[in-house]
Amino acid sequence: MAGGMENRSRKRQVLSFFLCLCVSLGACETIRYSMPEEKKSGSLVANIAKDLKLDVGKLSGRSARLISESSKQYVELNARSGGVIIKEKIDREDLCGQRDLCFLQFEIVLENPLQLYRMEVQIDDVNDNSPKFSKNEFVFKIPELLPVNSRFPLERAQDPDISTNGIQSYAISSNEHFSLDVLSQQDGSKYAELVLEKQLDREEQAQLMLILTAADGGLPQRTGTARIRVNVLDNNDNFPQFSQSVYKVQLMENSPRDTLVTKVEASDLDQGLNAEITYSFGQVPDKVLKLFQLNPFTGEITVLGIIDFEDAAMYEIEIQVMDGGGFTSHCKVVVEIEDMNDNAPEVTLTSLTSTIPEDSSPETVVALFSVSDRDSGDNGRTLCSIQDNVPFALKSTLKNYYELVTQKPLDREKVPEYNITIIATDRGTPRLTSVRVIQVQLSDINDNPPVFNESSYVMYLKENNPPGLLIGTVRAADLDTEQNAKVTYSALPGNIGDLPFSSSISINSENGQVYVLQSLDYEQRRDFQVTVRAADGGSPPLSSEAIVRVVITDENDNAPFILYPLQNSSSPANDLVPRSAEADKTSKCSLSFTRNSTD
């Protein structure tokens, strides 16, 4: 038997499966599963890696995680196997109460690239609760000679299960005076009324004992019982009568305590004690007793607790009136709760890439978040926006989900980070707004080459300089950061005469200082130029170039010598105009002549 139940459970566990790829692809459907309640902790709900055709080995690398929408974490994701397993046993009645459909909703989020899979597990009801009455025995005081077909509402049994597992029928033990009429309320729930089939005679039988049975429709069926004690009273001619059988009223949520909800009124044609009437609640849930109070003498119903539309939109309250002779009548008060815009939208961040490259292409997803509002109608409809002066935009994806995406080119050198304000506003009156600020930083891309502070440099050097002399500095700056802004200097290949630059000139790669490695001679070369390159540390590196012209200045380092007449010439000296030469130039080579005579 247990094996058969387990097989049926497996067969009904997965009802449907709709695959969708979310976030980057826009709107999608929801992946749906179903499972019975009360499954043990550790039981497998679904293998999402298999169902979504994902590589199990990549789940951990993509930071796969499960985000639950419920305050309690009922399921968890095993990233090693790809299985969604039960973390804590699920009691459908605790999770969803009496709602017909019960869903456990969560999302599976993957990073790199960002993807969202929305999951919905329908929790099927198991017949694990028996019908139960609030008391073991109910006492009715019914006068003799009461007309046939008089009706007496009975307390409804409570069964936390739903649908066919909830209460389906009532029955009463066999007797000659009463039958049972089983009726349905607007919500489909069953209740019973005791119907008098044969008049009572106190002198013949002063008390009757009946057994009331409530049964659900589960398999196997569960039942609950209570005793009904009927005390037969002497004749009381008139019943109290309500002015209406049903009172319908509207009540605004958050109405303050002691606010009048409505007033029920009944009258009795008898006189004296038999005409004195008192009001009381009939068979109502404990929650109603915490929210409303009834004046037993005036019939006024007032607010006692906090009325919240989000908890319940309607209450059906049974009111009983009793006269002094024990006669009772009943009416129903239907209280419809009107929604007030008392809940601001909530922004829930699902995923955030807090740092993105400055060269990110348009439509790059930065964040994924949802907006929810517990109110209903226009009070629960939301609008979401961000400020206008940022290069980002919002895209709607799933219901109430948004992507924050890049919209325009980014430039870290102009704006290194953004504080993006998400504004969620509902459409209620007055409108309520929530604000969430997301900080997005831009990481540097090597998109700026180093720039020299001058387009060309001129450096002066006296000839006969000592080797290793510092003659100047070139400087370049890069607007990027860190490694992309680290500048190194080098001289492009070239020659000075027949010798390469590297034999005469050296540039410090870190600070751009220029050194002369050899002693230079003005008489051999008066200037030369070197092309210097500044390159950053990016990948690939960017660079720029500048010309460095080195000018060699003259020193008086050469003595004059006589070119004519030659010293061994036989020409008369007084017939000659002497000529001389000197390697130096300008003022350094101005000559004077003197003649020495031995006479």
pTM, two decimals, is 0.56
CATH number for the segment(s) 451-553:
2.60.40.60
More confident residue, 424 or 166: 424
What pLDDT is stored for residue 523 in this prediction? 86
Which of 335-344, 369-378, 576-585 is the least confident region?
Answer: 576-585
CB under 8 A, 24+ apart: contacts of 366-369: 366/392, 366/404, 366/405, 366/406, 366/438, 366/440, 367/403, 367/404, 367/438, 367/440, 368/23, 368/109, 368/114, 368/116, 368/397, 368/401, 368/402, 368/403, 368/404, 369/401, 369/402, 369/404, 369/422, 369/436
Count of CB atoms situated within 10 Å of the CB of 97? 10
Nearest to 264 by CA among 249, 286, 283: 249
Predicted local distance difference test score (pLDDT) of residue 593: 55
pLDDT at 476: 95
Work out the pLDDT band at 577, boundaries 50, 70, 90: low
- Could you give the CA distance from residue 372 to residue 381 in angstroms, rounded to a whole number? 8
Specify the CATH number of the domain 346-440. 2.60.40.60
Tokens of 528: 């030369």
CATH of 241-338, picked from 3.30.200.190, 1.10.10.10, 2.60.120.10, 2.60.40.60, is 2.60.40.60
Among residues 426, 424, 541, which one has the least CA distance to residue 476? 541
We find that the CATH architecture of domain 137-233 is Sandwich (2.60)
* b/e sequence 209-221, b meaning 16+ C-beta within 10 Å: ebebbbbbebeee
DSSP calls for 337-404: EEP------EEEEEEE--EEETTPPTT-EEEEEEEE-SS-GGGG-EEEEE-SSSSEEEEE-STTEEEE
Q: Which residue has the higher pLDDT, 592 or 346?
A: 346
CATH number for the domain formed by residue range(s) 2-124: 2.60.40.60
pLDDT digits (tens, 9 = 90+) for 382-427: 999 999 889 999 998 888 899 999 999 999 989 999 999 999 999 9
CA–CA gap between residue 338 and residue 157 (Å, rounded)? 29
Q: How far apart are the first and last CA of the chain?
A: 154
Confidence of residue 72 (pLDDT cuts 50, 70, 90): confident
Give the pLDDT confidence of 229-247 residue by residue, as tens digits: 999 887 777 889 999 999 9
**DSSP letter for each residue of 234-293:** PP-S---EES-SEEEEEEETTPPTT-EEEE--EE-S--GGGG--EEEE-S--HHHHHHEE
* Model confidence pLDDT, tens digit, residues 336-347: 999 888 889 999
For residue range 184-199, what is the model confidence (pLDDT) as tens digits? 888 778 899 999 999 9
- Compute the distance between CA of residue 494 and CA of residue 501 in angstroms, rounded to an integer: 6
| pLDDT tens for each residue of 479-495 | 989 999 999 999 999 88
Mean pLDDT score across all residues of the chain: 86
Instruction: For residue 45, give Cα distances in angstroms to 42, 87, 272, 453, 468.
Output: 9, 10, 68, 66, 78
Residue limits of CATH 2.60.40.60 in the chain: 2-124, 137-233, 241-338, 346-440, 451-553
Mean pLDDT for 8-26 is 38
